[in-house]
Amino acid sequence: MKKTTSTKSWKQPVVYFLLLLTGAAGALLGQDLILSDERISSGDKAEPSDRSIPVSPTNSPRSNSYGVEMAKWLSANNNIPGENFIVEAADRVGPAVVRIDASRSANNSRSNRFGGELPGNFGLENPGYPNGSIEEGTGSGFILSSSGHILTNAHVVEGAEIVDVVLKDGRQYRGEVVGTDEVTDVAVIKIEADDLPKVILGNSEELKPGEWAIAIGNPLGLNNSVTIGIISATGRSSTDVGVPDKRVGFIQTDAAINPGNSGGPLLNDRGEVIGMNTAIVSGAQGLGFAIPISSAMRIADQLIVSGKAKHAFLGINMQTITAELQREFNSDFNSKIRVNSDRGVLILQVIPGSPADKHGLRAGDVIRKLDDRDIDRSETVQQLVQAKAVGSVVSLEIDRNGDILNLLVPTGNLPEEFGG
C-alpha cells in the first residue's frame, strides 16, 4: 500500500504539468491560427502587429533582401513608395542621363585642378596621358530641355576640343560647350536635337539627412549605372570637402559615386533631380558629394543666356569665432584686432575697393546677423551671399568693439582674380 501511494504522488504533478503545457501550446497555436485567418481575410492589407523596422541579422543594410524588406515596411507604415520606387525612378530618369566623352590634348589637361589629385578622383575616367597625346575621358550629364541643353560638371569638359554625347538608347551627338563656371564646377552643353527626354527638377532647399538618394551615371564607363543610399548631410562647405576654391554648399551622400559619375543626377525617391554628383574622397567609403540642383540651375540659367556666370561678392576674409580664435588674437600683442565677442564671424581682412570696403566694413568687425538671420559660422555667410543676385543688398548687424552697427552693403561681382 505504501508503495502504491508513493507512485501516485509522484505521477500526479507530472500529469498536471503536461496538461498545462499542452493547454498553453494549444492556446498559442489557436492565437496564431486566428491571426493567420485575419491576415487572409483582410487580404495583405493588414497592419503589422508592431511598428519595428525589420532587420535581418544575416544580411547587411546594403543587401538586397534588407533593402526590399525596408522598402516594404516604409510603404506599409509611412505611405512611402514601395519596393519598386528605385526601379520607377531609374526608368523615369534613365533615358535623360547621358554619357559625355571628352577629348583634349595633354597640354590642356586639368587633372591637377579638379581631377584626380583634389582630394580624390573627381574627374574623367582616364586622366594622365603622355605629353603630345590625346586624353579621352568619360563623364556624365543629364538633359534639362527637350531641345538639347545638358547639365554637367565644368571639370568634365574643361579644355575639351571634342565633346560627344551618347544617350541611353545609343544615339550619339556632337556637343557644344555653351559655358562653364569653375567657381561652382557647373557647365552646360548643347546638342542639336528635338523631343529629347528630360529630367524633372526637385527641391534641394528642404533636404534632410536620412532621405533616400539615388545616383545615376556612367562610373568607369559602365553606362546608366544606378546606386542608392541616403542623404548623409547638407550644406557641406567647400573647405569640408577639400576644394576651398569652390563656392558651393555640397550635399553629402553615401550612394556609391565613382569616377565617371561626375555630372550625373542625384535623385530623391520620386525620381526628381535634387543634385549633380561631383566629388568623391579617395580612400573613403560612403563619402560622395553633389551640388544642390538649386545652386546648379542658378548658374546654368546664366550660362544658357550669356555663356558666363556672375557671383555675388562682398570682399571680406572671415573666420568663425571660437575660444581658440579669441585666445590667439587676444594674446598677440602685435595684433590690431581684439576679439571681445564669443560668437559670430570675425572679419579678418577687407579687400581694398570691394563693396565691403566702400560701405564701411572693417577688419575686426564681428558679423552677428545677415538679413535678420543669426550668424554663427563663416560658411553660413558664404552660402547666403552666394545665393544672392549680383547687385542685391545685404543687411548686416555688426559688433564693432561693443558697438552694434547696422550696415547695408550691395553685392558686387566676383572679380576674375578671385575666380570670377
Q: How far is CA 343 from CA 118, 363, 364, 375, in A?
A: 32, 16, 13, 8
83, 126, 230, 277, 289 from 253: Cα distances, Å = 21, 24, 6, 9, 6
Distance, in Å, from the CA atom of 350 to the CA atom of 315, rounded to the nearest integer, reads 6
Q: Of the residues 101, 164, 181, 185, which is catalytic?
A: 185
Q: Exposure of 250 by Cβ count < 10 A (0-12 exposed, 13-18 middle, 19+ buried)?
A: buried
CB neighbour class for 215 (10 Å; exposed up to 12, middle 13-18, buried from 19): buried
Which residue has cell 602685435? 334
Which residues are within 8 A (CB) of 79 and not within 5 positions of it... i.e. 6 or more apart? Answer: none
Strand partners, 393: 410
Residues whose CB falls within 8 Å of the CB of residue 340, separated by 6 or more in sequence, listed in order: 399, 401, 402
Which residues are CB-neighbours of 34 under 8 A, at least 6 positions away?
Answer: none
Judge whether 145 counts as a catalytic residue.
no
Of 101, 155, 232, 295, which is the active-site residue?
155
CA–CA gap between residue 203 and residue 273 (Å, rounded): 8
Determine how many CB atoms are found less than 10 A away from the CB of residue 146.
13
Grid coordinates of 277: 554628383
Torsion sign across C-alpha atoms 21, 22, 23, 27: positive
Q: Give 267's strand partners.
A: 214, 273
**C-alpha atoms less than 13 angstroms from C-alpha of 82 in its C-beta half-sphere:** 3
Phi-psi region of 145 (alpha: psi -120 to 50; beta: other; left: phi over 0): beta
Our answer to whether residue 311 is catalytic in this structure is no
Among residues 111, 225, 262, 378, which one is catalytic?
262
Residue 258 has phi, psi (to 5 degrees) of -130, 170
Burial (CB count <10 Å: 0-12, 13-18, 19+), residue 388: middle
| Cβ 315 vs Cβ 355: under 8 Å | yes
Active-site annotation holds for 155: yes
* Residues recognised as catalytic: 155, 185, 262
